[in-house]
Structure 1
Amino acid sequence: MQNLQVLDLSHNYLYGSFHANISLPSMKSLNISNNKFDGPVEASLCHNSSNIEALDLSNNYFSGEVPSSIANCSSLQQLILNANGLSGTLPEAIFELHNLKELQLQRNGFSGQLDARIGKLAYLVKLDISDNRLSGAIPDIFMRLAKLDHFAAGSNNFSGPPPYSLVNSPSISSLYLGNNSLTGPISINCSAMIRITHLDLHSNAFDGWIPAEISACHHLTYLSLGRNQMMLPSELPSGFRSLKALRHLLLTEGSLVNFHAALQTLQHSGNLTTLIMNQNFMDEEIPQDLDLQFPMLKTLVIANSQLRGSLPLWLRGCTKLQVLDLSWNRLSGTIPAWIGGLSHLFYLDLSLNSLTGGIQEGLAEIVILRSHGNSSIIDSSTVVSIYYRTPGRRSLKYNDIWSLPPTLDLSSNMLTGPIISGLGNLGQLHMLRLQNNCLSGVIPDTLSGMENLEHMDLSHNNLSGKIPSSLIRLNFLSYFNVSFNRLEGAIPSGGQFITFPASSFMENKDLRGPLDWNHYQGPLPAEEEEMSFMDQFMLPFVVGAAVGMVLTVGFCFVSGWVFR
């Protein structure tokens, strides 16, 4: 073992304390990541292996402070401690590791201020201190970090404006400062930051408006500025049309106006794949310009904006679209048949609008949802973190697009007619949400073909007949709700149905089961109990949603269907 240079024990199920008192004088690289080691990081870590250049303890359960003896690892070039339970201030000993090129401390519990002595690490290329409890101002030391390419300090409690040397750094290509309390106007010197490709400043307290100067960052591929205090309504700077490399743009709550002009500008970014602009363009008409073209677009999320009008025909040309969320708007008209031609679309959310007409047969023709088996259908190259709403939870989850469940959500509209039998062909669908409409007729027996379905909500409609017994074949179904309809007959027994509460079947015509379902007065299912999908976004619209529900019921009554 005296000549051992590389020891890799990663991705196992090793647990307990990691004892580092073995003499390995030739050791260059030690990797014990992705195990279940716990307890403190041993002070003797480098006493007998002082030549270690790469040390990876990430994704374990180490706790306590980093020992000052880490300074004995004087040859370290790579120190990776992320995703543990480490705490305390950043140890001074780390600032003596002058050969460090990569320092990853994210997803721990480090607190206190970021010591300016970190500027002594002149060879740093990657520094990640995100997801900790660090506070105070970010020190103005980045001119001393002339090789720094990647700096991530998001999800801390940093305050004040970003330092001058940071927003003028000529070496940094990736800058992540989202989810802090940074203030002042957004000030990025693109003429100095000549290598910047990724810029994330979301969820801070920046004020003013979206600066036109950002359009001079010609190499930007990822830009996230949403959820700040930019309360001054303004148009998207027309200079953004020069961001030819831009692929991901996230501008939630950007106080933007003139939706049509924004789209005309953004279509010049021919590589744009992700466009998320929730809570902008409030109460505007959704543009219907047929000349709009977004041929590479995979994700479009413009929710909670009170947009008016019908689903625009230009979306038909977005043939690569995977995620479309236009929920919490005031869209009207029918669901167009051409949506079924978007062959890559696996997540469609048109909920909480005023759409009318029937469920189009084309929705059952979406190619990517028609395959069978439980293999992933999602293009993992579309990896970008977004806020998305999860049924049954009061807060938004910050997740990657590839983790979104394949979903068809048409809930809380004014849809009429039957549930089309063709939906049963969507074998890859995980969530089917049709509640709070005016749907009538029977529940199709063919829905049992949705073999991966986990969530089905058909409540608050005017469905009649029996619950098909074939639905017991839906082995992954964990949520089922048909309450407030006109169903009758025996409730299927067996399969997942033995797990559903009586409240899933309440207020129907004559359903029979092991309990007296019609008079059950227990709590509503968990999802109804926590109905607010986008609580952080929708508080101003609660009253409007309630009024919308009343109007929906009225519409159903006029159309000839009456809720019980």
Structure 2
Amino acid sequence: MSSPNLYLIYISSLFFSFHLWVLKSQETPCNPNDLKALNGFSSCLEPNVLGWNNGNSVSDCCTWTGVTCNDSASKRVVALELGQKNLYGTICDSIVGLNQLRILNLSHNQLHGSLPTELFRMEKLEILDVSDNRFVYRIPEELPLSSSIWYVNVSKNGLFGSIGENLCKNSSSSNIKVLDMSMNFFGEVQQGLSNCTSLQYLMINGNNFRGYLSGGIFQMMQNLRVLHLQNNSFSGTLDHGIGHLSNLVELDISSNSFTGVFPDVFGSLGKLEKFTASSNNFNGALPTSMLNSPSITILDLHNNSLNDLINLNCSAMTKLRSLHLGSNKLYGSILHNLSSCKSLNILNLGHNNLDGQIPESFKNLNALTVLSLSRTNLVNLSSTLKILQHFKNLTVLMLSENFQGEQIPDDAYFQFRSLKVLSIAYSELRGLIPPWLLGCNGLQFLDLSRNHLTGTIPLGFNKFKYLFYLDLSNNSFTGEIPKGLTQLQALIDIDISLLGTSLGFPLFSTGIDGATFRYNNIISFPPTLDLSYNMLSGTIWPSFGNLRRLHVLNFNENRLGGSIPESLSGMKNLETLDLSHNKLSGKIPESLVQLSFLSKFSVAYNELYGEIPMGGQFMTFPSSSFERNNGLCGGPYIPCSLQQTPIDESPSEAMTVFGPQFGFGVATGFVLTIIVCFMSGWVLPRETTFKYRCFTSKSSHRD
């Protein structure tokens, strides 16, 4: 290599080394005390935090994952944000060495153990979020919060003790604005909570609070905007002191044990927009101030014991969008005054002691999207549908347990273009599936069960692209299962979680085993095809195996024949398969063992034979799943080694014993006996001796 080239390499090396030195001189590692605290914090975690250079005493921790430093020359750690990092372990006391820390977020991990008491007293800390972990810890009663903290979220853990006695004990520690202690095991609300006068959001729902809730606790909390008390065991009446919360926007006291009447304090709650008091024991009439509230947009009082007329003043409640009064003891007709609530989107009056029929004035509710009037003693289904078709945006319609014994109208001019959910079950309706129903192309959920509908199931069900729940059980349908049911796209390749139809209120479903399930959204229902308890005939289409997203298939109690298709194993998400009480024949396909989610299975009361498949979920099914199939054996049912063809001693079978084969055997034995006698050299002086010996030989052969 020539000298000029060596010189160039030398100069380049010097320049490069100088550049690295300049860059190195510009780097300032994070504060050594902070680095020590972070290393100590990391030592209690399993595994170490990804992206952290643990144990390195000269590492710049400001570049570590989730670590933020300030812009000062000292580069102090001011934020540690490690939410949803799948961390496991405990929080070491060394974390309090981050004495300039302002934000600490360790939420949505698997941390356990206790919380360092000093964590709540860090002088600079403003935001503390350790929610959704596994901490089990008794909050000390003497625990005061640092004056700098304004946001605390310790929800979804195993914390217990009391709340509030010393939480805001000092005037300097009353700066907290957001306190979320929900979904823990706290058992008492202390009067000292009222000292937290800056609180705007208080969530203590989902704990073990019991007994009377004193209104005095809220007397000083004038800034409170959101108060969540639901899913506890508060009892007694709702204290009038709740009226002191003049800035309250959202109040949820649902799923407790409150009793009595509502206090008439809603006139003082002039900013209240959402009030939820469902699933309690409130009774009597609604207070006048509630029925005239100009601010309420959502009013949910379902599942109580309210027992009065519905007397809403819609001219005053101009902002009311959602009204839930279902499952009470309200009585009277569906009053015309509801028709002036023109802003209503969601109306649930189901399961009350109403009567009559929907008034013509209901046409004015043209903003309505969700309507539930199930079990309200309604009559005249034809008139009801004629009125409701004017709701062009109606997506959910629940009319079950009404119109008892009426004829389902077949008016082809009914139009429900936007309808996605329709339930008219348990009504003993008569007639055929009407043609207007097939025009509801957007249907996702259809329940016409427990009626007296007849005729065949129409062929046009394949038009329902988004239909994933169909219940036609307990009717009198005849004929074959239409092949269009095997072409429902929502059960083949559409992700129904993207449909997102909101109910606006919970629905409850009771299973065969008596278990009750609550569904807050339509897509929470399992994809279902239920044609049970009809008079359907024909065979099961092999193309049902294409319904990969189906969870429940019930064809039981029909007259279906033929074999069980092997292709049913294509329903990979199937959880329930009931084919019992039909006339199915052949063997149970071995391919069904591939259904790894199958938990309920029955082919009882059919004409199946052969060995029951072994393996997979078939090892878990009881013998009752296979009973009354005389040809089946194996598995939990009759062992195949014990299953023998029974001996039939009928005369016809007995006669076969004396057939040609038996006669040939007797003749052959007789001839052989004569030959043996002569070859033995016997002289037969007396005829009787010969007859005796030959008879004896024949007798031995027969035995």
Instruction: Please give the TM-score of this superposition, normalised by the length of structure 1.
Output: 0.88
Letter in structure 2 aligned against 1:173: T
Tell me the CA shift for residue 252 of structure 1.
1.0
> Which residue is 2:628 aligned to?
507
User: What is the percentage of aligned positions where both structures have the same residue?
Assistant: 47
**2: CA distance, partners of 1:115 / 1:516:** 62
Matched, 1:486 2:607: yes
For the Cα contact (< 8 Å) 1:385–1:398, is it kept in 2? no
Cα deviation 1:322-380 (Å, max 9, x = unaligned):
100000001111111111210100100000000111111100100111128xx654522
1:457 aligns with 2:581: no
User: Shift in Å at residue 229 of structure 1?
Assistant: 1.5
Following TM superposition, by how much is the alpha carbon of 1:297 offset from its aligned partner in structure 2, in angstroms?
Answer: 0.9
Between 1:487-496 and 1:311-320, the stretch displaced more is: 311-320
Residue 253 of structure 2, aligned match among 124, 129, 133? 129
Map of 2:234 onto structure 1: 110
Q: Which structure has more helix as a fraction of its residues?
A: 2
Deviation at 1:35, TM superposition (A): 2.5
**1:115-150 Cα deviation digits (max 9, x unpaired):** 112111111111111110000110111111111111
Q: Is the 2:321–2:343 Cα contact (8 Å) retained in structure 1? A: yes
Partner of 1:398: 518
Structure number with greater CO (CA < 8 Å, separation at least 6) is 1
Q: Is the 8 A contact 2:163 2:190 kept in 1?
A: yes
The answer (yes or no) to whether the contact 2:291–2:312 under 8 Å persists in 1 is yes
In 2, Cα distance between the equivalents of 1:413 and 1:354? 5
Q: Is the 8 A contact 2:339 2:365 kept in 1?
A: yes
The answer as to 2:203 corresponding to 1:80 is yes
Distance 1:380 1:364 in 2: 23
Distance 1:385 1:172 in 2: 17
Where does 1:105-504 land on structure 2 (aligned, <5 Å)?
105-230=229-354, 232=355, 234-371=356-493, 377=497, 379-394=499-514, 396-400=516-520, 401-504=522-625
Give the letter aligned to residue 80 of structure 1: M
Aligned mates of 1:495, 1:398 — CA distance in 2 = 30
Amino acid at match of 2:195: N
The letter of the residue matching 2:418 is M
| 3-state SS of 2:219 partner | helix
> Aligned with 1:345: secondary structure?
coil
Query: Which residue does the alignment assign to 2:66?
Result: none
CA–CA separation in structure 1 for the residues paired with 2:548 and 2:580: 22
Letter in 2 for 1:176: D
1:94 corresponds to 2:218: yes
Per-residue CA shift, 1:143-177, capped at 9, x if unaligned?
A: 11111111111111011100111111111111111
> How many angstroms apart in 2 are the aligned matches of 1:153 and 1:52?
27
Q: How much has 1:516 moved relative to structure 2?
A: 4.5
Letter of the structure 2 residue corresponding to residue 74 of structure 1: T
**What secondary structure is seen at the aligned counterpart in 2 of 1:300?**
strand
* Counterpart amino acid of residue 213 in structure 2: L
How far off its partner does 1:313 sit?
1.4
CA distance in 2, matches of 1:150, 1:45: 28
| Residue deviations 1:488-539 (CA, integer Å, cap 9, x gap) | 00000000000000111000121011455499xxxxxxxxxxxxxxxxxxxx
Q: Residue type of the partner of 1:106? A: Q
Given that 1:465 and 1:486 are in contact with CA atoms closer than 8 Å, whether structure 2 keeps it comes out as yes
Q: Which residue of 1 aligns with 2:665?
A: none
Match of 2:658?
none
Per-residue deviation, residues 252-295 of structure 1 (Å, max 9, x unmatched): 11111111111111111111110001111111111111111111
The residue type equivalent to 2:191 in the other structure is S
CA distance in 2, matches of 1:173, 1:393: 39
Separation in 1 of the partners of 2:145 and 2:617? Answer: 56
The secondary structure found in structure 1 opposite 2:202 is strand
Structure 2 unmatched runs, 5+:
1-121, 641-703
Q: State how far apart, in whole Å, the 2-side matches of 1:78 and 1:303 are.
A: 42
1:387 is paired with a residue whose SS is: strand
Q: Does the Cα contact within 8 Å between 2:240 and 2:265 map onto a contact in 1?
A: yes
TM-score (norm 2): 0.71
Question: What secondary structure is seen at the aligned counterpart in 2 of 1:439?
Answer: coil
> Within 2, Cα distance between the matches of 1:155 and 1:66?
21
Listed as ranges, the gaps of 5+ residues in structure 1 are 520-564
Q: Distance in 2 between matches of 1:388 and 1:103?
A: 27
- 2:38 equivalent in structure 1: none
- Computed over aligned residues only, the root mean square deviation of the Cα atoms, in angstroms, reads 1.7
- Give the SS at the match of 2:125: coil
C-alpha contact (below 8 Å) 1:510/1:518 kept by paired residues:
no
Q: How many residues align?
A: 514
Aligned counterparts of 1:428 and 1:111: Cα–Cα separation in 2: 44
SS, match of residue 223 in structure 2: coil
- For 2:164 and 2:217, locate their aligned partners in 1 and report how far apart those are by CA, in whole Å: 14
Cα deviation, residue 392, structure 1: 2.7
Cα distance in structure 2, aligned partners of 1:395 and 1:181:
24
Distance 1:446 1:390, change over 3 A: farther
**Partner residue, 2:40:** none
1:131 partner letter: S
Q: Give the equivalent residue in structure 2 for 1:531.
A: none
